[in-house]
Amino acid sequence: MSNIDTCDSCGKRRELWHNESTGLSFCEPCDMQAWENYAEDKGLVEAPAEDVQLLERDTAGLRVTLTYRPSRNDCLLACATSVAQTDRVVSLESAMDAFHHPMLYLSEACVAELGVA
Ligand SMILES: [Zn+2]
């Protein structure tokens, strides 16, 4: 149901949407704003934070990528060669070091699997 009337929020005459839970009638922008505020209050809008690939390099057949994972607040160091790939979680503090010296952060078994010296 919508009709032209005075918005309870901004006072402009617009097409209004009646909000059952508040009993107020808002225009569309106000209604959206109200919903956003409500959702934020209730912690409903926990934007699913996407993982972000920060860095990538390719050295002598070894591809190293560093991905920031906001949901865990850590980074994922991934190393791949043509034959294998492995990854490990690193803290934010050691992320840059891990990216530049990935072999120091991978287990011997992983390094052996990758087939790099
Ligand atoms: Zn309004």
Half-sphere exposure of 50 (CA within 13 A, CB side): 3
Residues 32 and 61 in one domain: no
Q: Is position 46 within any domain?
A: no
| Predicted confidence band of residue 89 (pLDDT cuts 50, 70, 90) | very high
Residues 64 and 21 in one domain: no
Residues 66 and 17 in one domain: no
Residues 61 and 106 in one domain: yes
Cα dist. 30→7, 13, 75, 80 in Å?
8, 12, 39, 50
Q: What is the pLDDT of residues 37-84, one digit of tens each?
A: 877 777 765 555 789 999 999 988 899 999 999 888 999 999 999 989
| Number of domains present in the structure of the chain | 2
Q: What is the pLDDT of residues 31-43, one digit of tens each?
A: 888 888 877 777 7
Helix (H, G, I), strand (E, B) or coil at 93: coil
Which domain range does residue 109 map to?
52-114
Give residues whose Cβ lies within 5 Å of ion ligand 1: 7, 9-10, 27, 30
Q: Is position 47 within any domain?
A: no
Mean pLDDT confidence for 13-31: 87
Q: Are 62 and 45 in contact (CB under 8 A)?
A: no
* Distance between Cα 40 and ligand 1 center (Å): 19
* Distance between Cα 29 and ligand 1 center (Å): 6
| pTM given for the model | 0.57
Contacting residues for 97 by C-beta, under 8 A, at least 6 apart: 104, 105
* Distance between Cα 6 and ligand 1 center (Å): 8
